[in-house]
Structure 1
């Protein structure tokens, strides 16, 4: 098998495994009731309030694993199972998303950097596949479209790696807070930590997959340049 092609296949297989592990952990820890009896929404509201954040709303959104913090409209969006759930995973995920709200309040540098390049990544993602396709089709004529495509892909890869400290820091804040406030017992804390670990690993694999794909297209670009 072509070695550059492995740069895409290996991260893809790793991503499938990580997603399976995450869903497995989410299901397992979602079935274990939290000793404190709080819902995810209550955990989120409590964490926001105790961090002096009163302008962020906690909302329920459709889907599973759709939980996220939106800095534009200042909302913590929780999936139904997390919002109304009283499980270890509900508390962990809710606190994690509020960790992003805390980052926003304290102007956490990686979050600010990620937010600053979001508009550029959005535009890049919209046209990226078409630019790369044009680059492959025209490689015998000109390398310019492929070079532009590699440049745009480099931006999305950079975004993926900037996301890593943002996600790990949010989990660190979440775990420290739920532990210090007695939201979880020592046993529950370890489960929450395990669940958030697998969630964070999806971002790690996504970043590596993006890097692998970038290197794959870069190898085609420089291979074509060498033929010239």
Structure 2
């Protein structure tokens, strides 16, 4: 199990570094006011309207980097700094979250697949940690608990990788739209693109960390089988 802790520590450190870089980038780009002087909320509403989406509402939520699109109640939820912000970072985030709304409206396949997995993951996440823990302690007697835990963990890993095209596509839609709509200048566009790239990297690190952990569990399982 020690090797598993090392993997977790390595990816935990990488994740922390990327998240810190992301926060620094957003803080930096939040200092640059948009020439268009549009707020994040105004940008979000404009993007929704441009795509003919009138059944999605834009809300302000508490917290930092808590921005998200909720397909269940069709809401774009923006943190206060993004909702009221009139800068490159706010423009990037607001348009990105509306990119998810556009995905939903156009039945983007990866978003549909990810949404379909959510109920399954909400149930499996309750049992998966216990099965893996029991599996490690019960290896001398049976590999079944670990096999079940790995099966459930593989769903989590799959979900993290399905999330990648969803996030990258939403960013691509956002950047294309704010450029086409002249929401940002070329300099502001570069800032928005960089901010979204660092945001995407948090998902990449999470997916790779999940895969590394899954491979470690599989290696432990195969070793136990060979010793039987």
| Bucket of the pairwise TM-score, normalised by the shorter protein | over 0.9
* Offset, 1:9: 3.5
Paired position in structure 1 for 2:132 = 132
Aligned length: 227
User: After superposition, where does 1:207-222 map in structure 2 within 5 Å?
Assistant: 207-222=207-222
What's the CA shift string for 1:174-212, capped at 9, x where partnerless?
Answer: 000000101000000000000000000000000001001
For residue 69 of structure 2, give the secondary structure of its aligned residue in structure 1. Answer: strand
The answer to which of 141-150 and 217-226 deviates more is: 217-226
Paired position in structure 2 for 1:35 = 35
Unaligned runs of 5+ in 2: none
For residue 134 of structure 1, give the secondary structure of its aligned residue in structure 2. Answer: helix
What's the CA shift string for 1:151-177, capped at 9, x where partnerless?
Answer: 000000000000000000000000000
For residue 141 of structure 1, give the secondary structure of its aligned residue in structure 2. Answer: coil
Paired position in structure 2 for 1:172 = 172
C-alpha distance in structure 2 between counterparts of 1:58 and 1:99, whole Å:
13
C-alpha distance in structure 1 between counterparts of 2:3 and 2:67, whole Å:
36
Cα-Cα RMSD: 1.2
Paired position in structure 2 for 1:195 = 195
1:48 correspondence with 2:45: no
User: After superposition, where does 1:125-164 map in structure 2 within 5 Å?
Assistant: 125-164=125-164
Unaligned runs of 5+ in 1: none
For residue 69 of structure 1, give the secondary structure of its aligned residue in structure 2. Answer: strand
Paired position in structure 2 for 1:60 = 60
C-alpha distance in structure 2 between counterparts of 1:79 and 1:5, whole Å:
34
* Offset, 1:31: 1.5
* Offset, 1:136: 1.2
What's the CA shift string for 1:139-161, capped at 9, x where partnerless?
Answer: 11111010000000000000000
Structure 2 length normalisation: TM-score?
Answer: 0.96
Structure 1 length normalisation: TM-score?
Answer: 0.96
* Offset, 1:6: 4.9
